Structure formats: structure tokens, C-alpha cells
Structure 1
Amino acid sequence: MTREDRTTEYVGRFAPSPTGPLHFGSLVAAVGSYCLARQAGGRWLLRMEDLDRPRVVPGAADEILRGLETCGLEWDGEVLWQSRRDERYRAVIEALRRRGLVFDCGCSRREILASAPHPGEEGPVYPGTCRFGLPAGRKPRALRLRVPDEVVGFCDGLFGPQEQHLLTAVGDFVLKRADGLFAYQLAVVVDDHDSGVNQVVRGADLLGSTPRQIYLHQCLGWPHPRYLHLPLALAADGQKLSKRHGALPLRPRAAGRWLAAALEFLGQKVPAELRGAPPAEILAWGVAHFARERLPREAAVPDLPAED
């Protein structure tokens, strides 16, 4: 059940991972979520998804924050840091355990890959080896959420009706990893709920994760947000644009051009006279004129501004 009460304040968010500096794909997600939140008169929150400590790059979070500020993307309230929320995640897992919804798993990734030669929609499907108890000689490694033999569906704000049969597409999924870290699927659900987020606007690479997150919301008795997944920006090699393709040259005098490029990528036709304007003017135009019906569905290589 979604939050259908349209009198409720719109609460959106942007949730980058500090594994490198801001890149164009991240800027697209930030601009899309920001414009839709501000257009609705709502709040726009910022969460730093530094849950995966081994992948966090020192200084990257500060660099991302500076990049957003350079672009005039102002967030509401304090930044939420996932790395400071272990106690909360632990409490949620214990609540699920008391209800018999999670179980210890002793399987390694190699063993799962070997037992699932034909991967599902989201990679190797967990075969259920430990869902009725650890086999003899096994020690617990990860903690998994038991999924039902049923379809989870939702209507995406851009891609329309979506369905996923959890058991055959992903199987029982991890909430706490073998290395002791809490999993993304758990943290994102808990954080969105605790922050009051009711509108999630993010990249289409996370479309396949949404049914798992909706099911976890249901397990916890929480309403899930509405979702809108934006088209992905691709690098010249056809891969998803990421930090390995380089950071944005977000100097203050270039920020407006990059904002305009992000809006253009999202199908919003920025007037020519605004292309060199300060970020605040371009964002104000974006908020006033952003139209969901102009959003493209296909991933594409963006037309990036020339270097100074």
C-alpha cells in the first residue's frame, strides 16, 4: 500500500555514495529529484550512503557536498549518514528475527554461483539452502530475509507497471552481509521510513531493487514511497556513467552549464539565453518548468559541455 494521501507533504531525497566525486550521472539524479520536490513545494533531503565502509574514498563525501553547493542544490535539514545508524539497523533486524522473517545463511557467494548457473533478473538466485536451518557443519555468515512465492508489483512514475517474482528473480536476500556490514536493501528502507521520504526519484539501475524494498516495507508494516526511476546516462563505451569515468569539472563558472546539460538530458528544453546563467537561475527555471511527460525512458550518452 502506497502513501496515496496527496495532502501529505512531498518528501524527496538524494542519496549519493561517497566512493568518488560527483559525476554527471549523479548530477542527473540530484537535479531530477530536486526539481520534482521543489515543484511540489516539498522537502529535499540528503543522505550519504557510506554504509559500505571498504569502498568509501576519504574526502569524497566532502567533495560531493561541495559539488552540490556549487550547483545551488540546497538540501533541507542535516545530512543523514548511514555509517552512524548501525544501532537502528540492528534493532530492525532483531524485530524481524523475533517474527521469524529472517534466517542465518552459511553459503558463500561462490557456492551460490555454483548452484545457480542460470542467473535471475538481478544476478545469481539464492537457492534456499539454509532457509529451513543451517546444514550440518555450516556456520552462520550472512542474514537473509525470507521471501514469499508471489509477485510484488508497483507502478513506476516513468516506466509504468512493474512486477517481480521475488523467489525466482532473487530468492531470499541479504540484510546483513558476511563481513558484518548491513546491506543496502535494509538501510535504504529504514532510512527512507525514518526520514519520512514518500517520493523516491533515482536512477533506473535501481528499478530491479524496488520490489525487494517494497516487500521489506511490508514486512515491517510500513507504507512504501512512490518511485520514479530516471533514465541512465551512459559513457561512450555504452556502460553506465560512473565515477570511474571521471568527476565533473564543477568550477563555479561552469556549474550553470552542467545543470543545463542535466536538465536537457532529462528532456527539459532549457532556453538558450539561460545556458550561461548562474546556477540559481537555471534551477529556478527547472523547478518551474520541469515536466514528467518529457522524461525519456531510454538510457543515452549525454551531450556534455565542452571543457573550459
Structure 2
Amino acid sequence: MVTRFAPSPTGLLHLGHAASALAGWHAARTAGGRFLLRLEDIDPQRCRPGYAQAILEDLGWLGLDWDGEVRVQSGHLDDYRCVLGNLHRRGLLYECFCSRAAIARETALSVAAPHVSPDHVPLYPGTCRRLDPELRRRRSAAGEPFVLRLDMRSALAGLACTERALLARDADTGRDRQCHPERFGDVVLARRDVPASYHLCVTHDDWLQGVTLVVRGEDLLPATDVHRLLQALMGWTPPAWSHHHLLLDRDGRRLAKRDGAPTLRAMRADGMTAAHVRALAGFP
């Protein structure tokens, strides 16, 4: 068994992170397997080196160890460019020049439903997918900002017959779940300021590192559908998934950086021991 913990260094770790890291670590160590640590720092606007160092220190304080070197995604951009190039050559990517505001306006005027994808992003109406290829080339060559979107219809049509029924293995139940990536529409796989999306990087790295079990919060369950599609398109062996319940605050909201969830640093400063924090996270 190979599991991993893959935080983004956009802030300090909180109790929810500790629960997820401990769940993956415990699964690997119980099975005599490997536990990997990966830093998903592709977004240069939000990620900070100081937070990356703090992640290593906080995990060590909790008593977690990991196998091998920490994979830092920003050091492997060429890997992700190769995947994007592969998809582009196969006609599965296209440049989209629409702004977020333009997409919101168009979806608001549409009579079709649904208007929002499972990850709460306005469903892209496919405006630039219908652009004349030569016009798209000229706009791109002129330096007009764009994102790269996956042509969902072409991607699904291009799957081998054996992959048409995309299934994801639920490690907790031992059953396969039918995936429906079409609910996400033409997802963004790269931006000018973020050279590859979370969807692309996480599936690539899980395959590259031989991850066999992905342990993460249930809020990421819908994203599994997109990940299974990318794995099928690239011929990557999929892992199994275990999506654990989220820790909630007193108001019933999931613990999140943006809501000021108490950090492990703050807990330690208040005199809590690592054993106490592990117990709060469900791993005494």
C-alpha cells in the first residue's frame, strides 16, 4: 500500500489537515506500506515557502514520518507540460479566452440547467470550443490571455470501449462507484498564472509515485470523477479512494483556512501536546 498527504502551502495546518494526514499515515503504516508527502504549490500567487517549511515541522511534531523525498510540484512543471501537450495533440484541449465575468453573464442568461458544476463553479457554456481554429490560433499568437480547457465531449467519446463506464473503487466499502465527469463540463487544466490545474497535477503525481490509496476529505469526492477521466485518457492505473468525514467547527462548518480554523501552531502554543491533538483528530 502507498498513501500520501498532499497539502498546499497556502497557510498553516489545522486540525482537519492533521486528521487527513493521520488517516493516510495510519493506513500505510498498519499495512506495512509507504506514506508519501507532497507539496502542491503550483499556484505562485497563494503558496509561500514559509508555509511549506511549517508543514514539515508541524507533521514532525505530530509524530508523522514519511518515505522518500518530499515531492514539490513547482519543481516538476515540465512533467505537467508533457501531459498537456499530449492532450492538446490529441485534440482534447482548446484555448478559452472567456473571462469569469463573461462566463457568469452567459450562464445567467441560459435557460439550460444545471448552471453550476459539482465543485460549485459556473458550468462553462462552451463558447470558445466553437471558435474557428484559425481565429483561436490568431488570438493566442496575439498574446490574448486564455486558459486551457478539456473538451469533455471529445474526451468521453475518445475513451476505449472498456473505459466508457468510468468506475472509482471505494476502499471503505470495497465497491465501485460510477463516475460522471460530464457534470463538470469543460474543466480548466491550465492557466497563464497557474501552469497546471489541481486535477491534472494530482492525477499525474499519484500515478508517477505509485499511490494505491488516496485518503482525503469527503469534500473532494466529486473531483474523483474528473480524476478517473484523466487517468483513463492517459492510461494511468487508478488508485482506490477513501473519503473521510470532515471535522466541523462549533457552527457546523468544516474547518478551513479561510474561516480562521485554529492552527496546529496555535494549539501547540496554547500548551496542547501532540498526543492531545492526535486524539482530537481521532487518532489517539
- Normalising by structure 1, what TM-score? 0.76
Identity of aligned residues (%): 42
Q: Could you list the per-position Cα deviations for residues 2-30 of structure 1 after superposition, in whole angstroms to 9, with x for gaps in the alignment?
A: xxxxxxxx111000111111100000000
* Aligned-residue offset at 1:127: 1.4
2:196 is equivalent to residue 182 of structure 1: yes
Instruction: State the match for 2:161 in structure 1.
Output: none
Instruction: State the match for 2:151 in structure 1.
Output: 146
Alignment of structure 1 residues 83-98 onto 2, 5 Å: 83-98=74-89
* Aligned-residue offset at 1:180: 4.5
The two structures, once aligned, show a CA RMSD in angstroms of 2.2
For the 8 Å contact 2:42–2:194, the answer to whether it is kept is no
- Normalising by structure 2, what TM-score? 0.82
For the 8 Å contact 1:104–1:140, the answer to whether it is kept is no
For the 8 Å contact 1:153–1:161, the answer to whether it is kept is yes
Report which stretch shifted further, 178-187 or 212-221.
178-187
* Aligned-residue offset at 1:133: 3.3
Partners of 1:28 and 1:21 in 2: CA distance: 14
Which one of the candidate residues 113, 119, 128 is aligned to 1:130? 128
More helix by share: 2
SS in 1 for 2:12: coil
Instruction: State the match for 1:261 in structure 2.
Output: 280
Instruction: State the match for 1:82 in structure 2.
Output: 73
SS in 2 for 1:91: helix
SS in 2 for 1:245: coil
SS in 2 for 1:250: helix
* Aligned-residue offset at 1:262: 1.3
2:156 is equivalent to residue 165 of structure 1: no
For the 8 Å contact 1:70–1:250, the answer to whether it is kept is no
AA at the equivalent of 1:141: F
Q: Which has the higher contact order (CA 8 A, sep 6+)?
A: 2
For the 8 Å contact 2:10–2:46, the answer to whether it is kept is yes
Q: Could you list the per-position Cα deviations for residues 56-77 of structure 1 after superposition, in whole angstroms to 9, with x for gaps in the alignment?
A: 1341111111111111100000
Partners of 2:93 and 2:127 in 1: CA distance: 14
Partners of 2:229 and 2:103 in 1: CA distance: 22
Which one of the candidate residues 51, 62, 71 is aligned to 2:53? 62
* Aligned-residue offset at 1:178: 4.0
Aligned length: 255
* Aligned-residue offset at 1:151: 6.6
Closer/same/farther in 2, CA of residues 180 and 72 from structure 1, 3 Å limit: closer
AA at the equivalent of 1:257: H
SS in 1 for 2:249: coil
Q: Could you list the per-position Cα deviations for residues 139-178 of structure 1 after superposition, in whole angstroms to 9, with x for gaps in the alignment?
A: 46000112236774424234765444322x2101111014
Partners of 1:134 and 1:20 in 2: CA distance: 42
Alignment of structure 1 residues 134-283 onto 2, 5 Å: 139=144, 141-148=146-153, 152-158=166-172, 162-167=177-182, 169-243=183-257, 244-248=260-264, 249-250=267-268, 254-263=273-282, 270=284
Unpaired segments ≥5 residues, structure 1: 1-9, 265-269, 271-308
* Aligned-residue offset at 1:104: 1.2
Partners of 1:87 and 1:52 in 2: CA distance: 15
For the 8 Å contact 1:104–1:134, the answer to whether it is kept is no
SS in 1 for 2:38: strand
